[in-house]
Each structure stands twice: as structure tokens, then as C-alpha cells.
Chain A
Amino acid sequence: MQVGDRASSRYIAVAAGLAILVAAFVGSEFRPGALFGAAAGERAGEFLKSWWPPRVDSLFLTRIAKGAIDTVAIAAVGTFCAVLVGLPLGILGSRIVSQGALFAEGEARSHRAWRAVYFGARGIGAFFRSIPELIWAIVFVRILGLGPAPAITAFAIAYGGMLGKVYSEQLEEARPAPVAALEAAGAARLPAFLWGVFPQVAGRMASYTAYRFECAVRASALMGFVGAGGLGFAIEISVQDYLWNEVVTEVALLVLVVMAIETISDAVRSWIE
């Protein structure tokens, strides 16, 4: 392809992107001006007044602190279960194992059964992650009842699908030569994978899992709204009773928790990498 062609096709792509953006603005009826109108200002003022003073008595604080702990615990267990789902999906859904991208000649590969496993794992993963965790949670609240179980199950499925996709990509990034060297010395598939592929990517996988845990903490608060307990549930109750002075404290606590988790996870990730 000529250089000129490439440049002009880039202009066309940018123009098409802008057109879609304009159409989306019109279609969504979003009017930023409304935020700054006089009526909006009055309403915002009244709303802000209802926040003050925030509720900070110890009985309330103990209750929401317990909620925050529940939220983090749900995220932690949920992420752990997601890893249990994501690892097999990622390994089976990467070409490394299923199609033997790394494997030396003469070994059985590209067999129909392995292909079926590969596409099966990819399909299941795609289905799991295409439905947001909140929808999964709503479904599982119906099945499992209120409490942390539906939220954890939702994380295991939705985040398991996401982890599976990212794991499989990371596995495929492993350098093949060291693995081929192990196989040339007689190593079978699984040992070659464990000794040759896994060490190359384990750090990156752990790092991405830590990031997913961060996301899970935020999402876990949201899941409280659909009955999964924790801080989100406390916010939901306060909102229903128009107790905005409680909501302020609860949201402030949520912000603190999320920031703390992010700091910890950043530290862990920079230590891994």
C-alpha cells in the first residue's frame, strides 16, 4: 500500500469518528447548559444544604465501617474466585496449549479436540464478561437470596471472563525460544508450561489481577444496591430514607477505602514488576 493511501484512509477514519460523536451528542439529548441554569443552581444549593451536618456518631460509624469491611471482603473473595475461573479459561483459551504454538515439531498438535477446547474456552469467557457484573449479581440475588454470595458469584463469572481473556493474551506474549529449549530436552507439555511459560508471565498476571481487585472494590460497593450487603447496601438504605447527611459520610468512607486499596495495589504491582 502507498504511503499516500494510508494517510487519506486515516483522514476518513477520523472524519467518521467525529461524525459518530456528533450524532451521539444529538441522540443522547445531553445539554451541558442545563447544569449551569438558574433553576439547577437553586436545586443544587438546597440539595447541598441537606447534606450538612454529616452524621458521625459512633454507632453509625461502626455500622458503616463494618459495611466497608464487608465490601472489601466481597471484592477479595470475588477476585480470588475469578482467578480460579480465569486461569483455566486463560490457559485453555490461549494458543500456547490448545494449538501448540510453542511446541516443537513432531508432537501432536492442532488436533480437533484441542481446537474445540480452545474455542470453547474463548466462547465461555466472552459470554461471561459480556454481561456486566451488576446484571450477574441481580440474577444471582434471585437464585441465592440476599447477602454476599450472589456478589461473589457475579465476580467469579464476570471477572473470571475478563481475567481469562487477559491471561490468555499474556501467555501468548511469552518468548517461545526458552520453552522450545525445555521441550528439546524432553520436557512434556505441562512441565514445559510450568517451568518455561508461567515464570515469564506470572508477574504480569499478578499485576493485572491486583488491578482487577481494585475494580472489584468499586463494583462491590455498587452491588450493595442490589442487595449484596456492604457499604453499598448502607448507602441504598440512607438514600431511600432521604438521609443525605448519612450518604455524605458513607460516600466519603467509600472514597477513602477505594483510595487506600489503589495505593496498596499500586505498591504491590510496582513491587512485582
Chain B
Amino acid sequence: MIRLDGAGRSFGRSIALARVDLAVRSGERVALVGPSGAGKTTLFRVLNLSIRLDRGSYALDGLATAGVRGRPLRAARSRVATIHQHHDVVGRLSVLKNILAGRLGRWNGARAARIFLAPPESLIEEARAVADRVGLRQKLFQRTDRLSGGERQRVAIARAIFQDARLILADEPVASLDPSRAEEILSLLVASSKQDGRTLIVSIHQPALAKRWFERVVGLKEGLVAFDLPAREVGDERLSILFAGVEDRDVRDVRDARDVRNTRDLRDLEEHEQKIARPACRPTDV
């Protein structure tokens, strides 16, 4: 399904991915664990073809992605669905339209415009079935920014399911949830992967959840794969090494992000890193 060989990516002077080798088979479910700043989000942005590698190679479904652009690039992107950490749904649109937006990669401009103005009944039915799966059936015609944070996350999940992609990436889907909600979301993701035979990669802070829900756990630290093991073989010792020195790392992320803020592609990264950092580390206006 995917294959990364010696994958590396830097932003300015800060190295987000050092050298990652990773192969995931079709239908596999993988948890990606590691402290914030380990490169998980960057790895996802590489996998969904939002950014390119500086070094190494990435093959998606046997397609070497280097240099792919235009229509083939969009076709490749439409085969990867991403549930972003901050959901990134369009607040002003209805739940229905946000779900439908998952298929934008398959529609040409005219079709996208037509469906925007008047979605056909068949698509509404399909979207309703997906909304049903995530428990949003009653909210289909509500504006998304009127929903709670948890419901917006379900919209993002529904959009990813509706996209009908071979690979689903979920970036920290349970980071800000209480334990019972976290279990709920993970079971939703795992069930949709099992039901439709989709490959699933989820990045996750809590190692215990990773071990419970996934058969394979990949530990990422400072842009490198620290371990790649079946879940039952992941011991506490490995995890404590993985998370050692996390606090220093957080502070450094903010500084690194600031160093390179003139690079446009980094705006998101910076925003993201600042959100993770505790208030005390936030750059102040000196």
C-alpha cells in the first residue's frame, strides 16, 4: 500500500523527518506513537501528498510519487483520506456538504459546482448512511460551526469515510478527548477500516490505547523510526525511552518554528506547534 524509503524532510534548518523507512500493507492498521514534535504530522502530510520529500522516496499503491503533479497528483491524493488534528472542516457549510466535500477530488469543476448548488438525492442518501455510522444522522442539515468539538470531529471522520479512500490517516484523533470518548472514536475508525477493508494509520499520544486497538505500533522520535513492532511486543521500557526529554523538545519546537516562519509552508506547522506548546513556552511580544 505505502512504502517510504529513507524519507526525509526539513523546514528551513529544522529537520522534521530525518530518515524514515516504513512499509504498510493494504488493510493493515498501524498506530504511530511518539512525543509531539516527533514528526508525526509531517509524516502524515507526506503520506497524503500535501508536502514533498527532500530525501528518499515515497510510493503509494506502487506509484512513485516524486514529481507527480496536476491531475495525476490529485487522483493520488483522492486515494488518501486524512482526519486532521484540528478537524479542518468548513464551519459555514452544513454537515451534509462537509461530508460530500470528501469526493471533491473525483469531480471536475462543473460537477463540483452543480453539486454545491443542488446535491442530487442519491448522494444525499449516501452521505446520510455515512452520517448514520458516526452518529450524526440528526445533524445532517445543521451548520457545522454550530456543532460541538466532538461532533465536528465526527464530521471530519464522516468526510474521510465518504471519500472512499484506500488509506485513512488520522492525526491525533483522541488527543483532546476523555477516555470513554477516545475509545468510542477509535472503535469507529477501526470498525470502518475492518468493514471496508481500508488501511488505517492513526497517530496517538497514549501508548496504552495504541496497544489495545492496533496490531502494529510504530514509535517515532526526532524524525526517526525508534521501533516498529507488533503491539504485544511493545514494552514499557521502549516507551519510556521514546517519551524521555519530551518537555525540552516542546520548547525547541516553538523556537524552531519561529526561526523559519518566513517560509510559507511552515505557517501551518508553526500554528500547530504553538497549539501544542504550554502557554509558558509561547513566544511573547518582547
Q: Is the Cβ of B93 less than 8 Å from the Cβ of A199?
A: yes
Q: Is B49 an interface residue (CB 8 A)?
A: yes
* A194 in complex: contacting residue of B75, B89, B113, CB < 8 Å: B113
Query: Do B93 and A184 touch across chains, with their CB atoms under 8 A apart?
Result: no
CA distance A177 to B91 in the complex (A): 11
Residues of chain B from 49 to 79 with CB closer than 8 A to chain A in the complex: 49-52, 68-70, 73-79
Query: Could you say which residues of chain B place their CB within 8 Å of the CB of A178?
Result: 88-91
| Contact A186-B92, Cβ < 8 Å, known A104-B50, A105-B50, A106-B73 | no
Residues of B with Cβ closer than 8 Å to A? 45, 48-52, 68-70, 73-82, 84, 86, 88-93, 97, 101-102, 104-109, 112-113, 116, 159, 163, 165, 264-265, 267-268
- Rounded to whole Å, the gap between the CB of A157 and the closest CB of chain B is 28
B90 touches A185 (CB 8 A): no
Interface assignment of A180: CB less than 8 Å from any CB of chain B? yes
Q: Which of B79, B84, B112 lies in contact with A177, CB distance below 8 A?
A: B84
Residues of chain B lying within 8 A (CB to CB) of residue A177: 84, 86, 88, 268
Let me know if A59 is at the binding interface, CB within 8 A.
no
Q: How large is the interface on A (under 10, 10 to 19, 20 to 34, 35 or more residues)?
A: 20 to 34
Question: Which residues of chain A come closer than 8 Å to B88, judged between CB atoms?
Answer: 177-178, 180-181
Chain A residues in the interface with B (C-beta under 8 A) = 101, 104-108, 176-178, 180-188, 190-192, 194-196, 199-200, 202-203
Q: Is the CB of B49 within 8 A of A101?
A: no
Known: A180-B88, A200-B91. A195 touches B73 (CB 8 A): no
Chain A residues near B108 (CB, 8 Å)?
188
Total A-B Cβ pairs within 8 A: 108
B77:A195 contact, CB within 8 angstroms: no
Q: Across the interface, do B82 and A184 meet the contact criterion of CB distance under 8 Å?
A: yes
**Known contacts A177-B88, A185-B81, A185-B102; A190 and B264 CB within 8 A of each other:** no
Q: What's the Cα separation between A181 and B50 when bound, in Å? A: 9
A185 near B163: Cβ-Cβ < 8 Å: yes
**Which chain B residue has the least Cβ–Cβ distance from A195?**
B101
Compute how far the CA of A185 lies from the CA of B80 in the bound complex, rounded to whole angstroms: 7
Q: Are A180 and B74 in contact (CB under 8 A)?
A: no
**A186 close to B268 (CB less than 8 A):** no
In the docked arrangement, what's the CA distance between A178 and B101, Å?
11
B101 partner residues in chain A, CB cutoff 8 A: 182, 185, 187, 195-196
User: Which residues of A lie under 8 Å from residue B48 when comparing CB positions?
Assistant: 184-185
Q: Which residues of B are found within 8 Å of A200, using beta-carbon distances? A: 90-92
Residue of A at shortest CB range from B101? A195
Whole-angstrom distance between the Cβ of A52 and the nearest chain B Cβ:
55
Q: Tell me the smallest distance from the CB of A195 to a CB of chain B, in Å.
A: 5
Known contacts A185-B77, A199-B90, A200-B90; A106/B104 CB under 8 A: no
Would you list the 8 A-B pairs with minimal beta carbon distance, nearest first? A186-B105, A186-B78, A191-B112, A187-B104, A186-B77, A181-B88, A199-B92, A186-B74
What residues of B have a CB within 8 angstroms of the CB of A106 in the complex? 49, 51-52, 68-69, 73
